[in-house]
């Protein structure tokens, strides 16, 4: 009889408990599809006595989670602790160095240390799998690495953070400003007590760096991702986007560029005005979606729940099924030695239409100053709207929104440089490209 695949779980939060429940609920189906049973034999977490809704007393317990990597009765270690460094990274290194396969949902660790861990896995002939690290239960890594493997991916972009997407769609539906909707999201459990990684775009950037490496056959380069979050978006921006036939979404985008005959990689996370006719415009609430454009397959859309115990546990167990079947493909689709180190692209070469919002003093000459900067930098203005101040506050700054015609991004950067330090500006301008 085929021996079961024996796993150890490090981390028994919502996802770890979800993995145990999924293996129990769908155990017979999973065994049939994997060709053998998948069994939890050992676990580790900070608190033994916590009620997790599953019975953990039947498993061996290690207070030191790195000890899981040394157990003789374990084939695969599943890391669900999180954090780019510290205990999670120590466990990952020890697991792969010690001859055991590793499954993780830790996007921060893969974004920062993916190359090192992939090299370790490669040198020991082991599996390193992290489907759950990107977009929860959506099989986007498998879709790109296997289903679209015959294609050259030309562009990749998507909504990669459910917290931001929930906040933005709530701002659309209620007309409320960012701060109030964030507090509501925290109360409902959609946002962390410290939401910085989510709302400032870092979480989405971790995922984008992983996707870009897989899609373009390059080394993971999180440090080259240009990151902007959603904390500066106002209800007025949402309303103006709607008037233009768009919605605002936090979008991660990666694409190849050629500069002087050399291959370069553009990676950016930022709020974007998405045309209502575009598939991403319909992605609302805590949903994730990824669009990949292949040279033969065309546009692919992956969409679904991007977080939660069920979807993330589903992705973890899918990786375990792959290992049980003996499917030990390279973590980033290509062997580590074939992944190319590609320099960051110059974003100034990209052609964009952009929405620019200025918060300015309401006095004569301000609009002339802004339009002169646009003219001198070569930015062609498509439309401009000034929002009046409240009648009872003569000192309140006003908002000026400009939409440019399509042109080089370098021209917009130059225009903003001309305005930098101007006493007319109450805060730095907010710039969002238009998509679709």
Residue 71 exposed, middle or buried by CB count within 10 Å (0-12, 13-18, 19+) = middle
Residue 395 in tokens = 């000192």
Residue 127 contacts residue 322 (beta carbons within 8 Å): yes
Classify strands 60-61 and 5-10 as parallel, antiparallel or unpaired: unpaired
**395 C-beta neighbours (distance < 10 Å), count:** 7
- The b/e string for 204-213 (b: 16+ C-beta within 10 A; e otherwise) is bbbbbbbbbb
Which of 165, 166, 131, 185 lies closest to 271 in space, CA to CA? 165
Residue 235 contacts residue 171 (beta carbons within 8 Å): yes
Residue for token digits 């907010």? Answer: 430
Q: Cα separation of 323 and 102, whole Å?
A: 10
- Residue 12 half-sphere exposure toward CB, CA atoms < 13 A: 25
Handedness of CA 260, 265, 270, 272 (dihedral sign): positive
| CA 124 from centre of chain | 29
207 part of the active site: yes
- List Cβ neighbours of 189 (8 Å cut-off, separation of 6 or more): none
- The residue annotated as part of the active site, out of 94, 129, 142, 207, is 207
Residue 360 in tokens = 């300015």
Residue for token digits 């238009």? Answer: 434
CA distances from 211 to 141, 175, 317, 371, 385 (A): 7, 33, 20, 39, 38
Active site residues: 207
């Amino acid at each position: 009889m085929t021996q079961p695949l024996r796993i150890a779980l490090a981390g028994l939060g919502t996802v770890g408990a979800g993995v145990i429940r999924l293996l129990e609920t769908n155990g017979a189906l999973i065994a049939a599809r994997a060709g053998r049973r998948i069994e939890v034999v050992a676990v580790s977490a900070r608190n033994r006595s916590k009620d997790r809704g599953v019975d953990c007393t039947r498993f061996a317990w290690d207070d030191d989670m790195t000890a899981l990597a040394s157990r003789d009765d374990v084939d695969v270690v599943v890391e669900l602790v999180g954090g780019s460094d510290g205990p999670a990274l120590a466990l990952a290194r020890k697991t792969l160095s010690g001859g055991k396969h590793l499954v993780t949902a830790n996007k921060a660790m893969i974004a920062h240390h993916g190359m090192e861990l992939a090299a370790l896995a490669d040198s020991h002939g082991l599996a390193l799998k992290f489907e759950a690290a990107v977009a929860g239960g959506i099989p986007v890594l498998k879709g790109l690495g296997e289903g679209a493997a015959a294609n050259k991916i030309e562009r990749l972009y998507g909504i990669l953070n459910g917290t931001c997407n929930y906040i933005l769609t709530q701002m659309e539906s209620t007309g409320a400003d960012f701060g109030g909707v964030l507090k509501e999201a925290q109360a409902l459990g959609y946002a962390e007590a410290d939401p910085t990684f989510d709302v400032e775009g870092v979480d989405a950037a971790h995922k984008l760096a992983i996707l870009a490496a897989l899609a373009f056959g390059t080394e993971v380069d999180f440090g080259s991702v240009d990151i902007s979050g959603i904390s500066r978006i106002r209800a007025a921006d949402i309303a103006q986007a709607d008037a233009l036939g768009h919605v605002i979404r936090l979008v991660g985008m990666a694409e190849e560029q050629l500069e002087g005959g050399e291959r370069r990689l553009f990676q950016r996370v930022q709020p974007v005005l998405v045309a209502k006719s575009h598939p991403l415009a319909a992605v609302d609430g805590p949903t994730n979606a990824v669009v990949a454009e292949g040279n033969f397959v065309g546009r692919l859309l992956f969409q679904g729940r991007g977080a939660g115990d069920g979807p993330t546990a589903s992705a973890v167990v899918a990786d375990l099924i792959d290992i049980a079947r003996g499917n030990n493909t390279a973590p980033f689709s290509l062997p580590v030695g074939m992944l190319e180190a590609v320099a960051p692209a110059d974003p100034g070469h990209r052609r964009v239409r952009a929405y620019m919002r200025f918060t300015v003093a309401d006095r004569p000459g301000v609009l002339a100053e802004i339009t002169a900067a646009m003219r001198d930098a070569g930015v062609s203005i498509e439309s401009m709207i000034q929002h009046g101040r409240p009648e009872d506050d003569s000192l309140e700054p006003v908002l000026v929104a400009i939409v440019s015609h399509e042109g080089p991004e370098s021209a917009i950067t130059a225009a903003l440089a001309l305005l930098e330090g101007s006493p007319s500006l109450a805060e730095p301008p907010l710039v969002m490209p238009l998509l679709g």
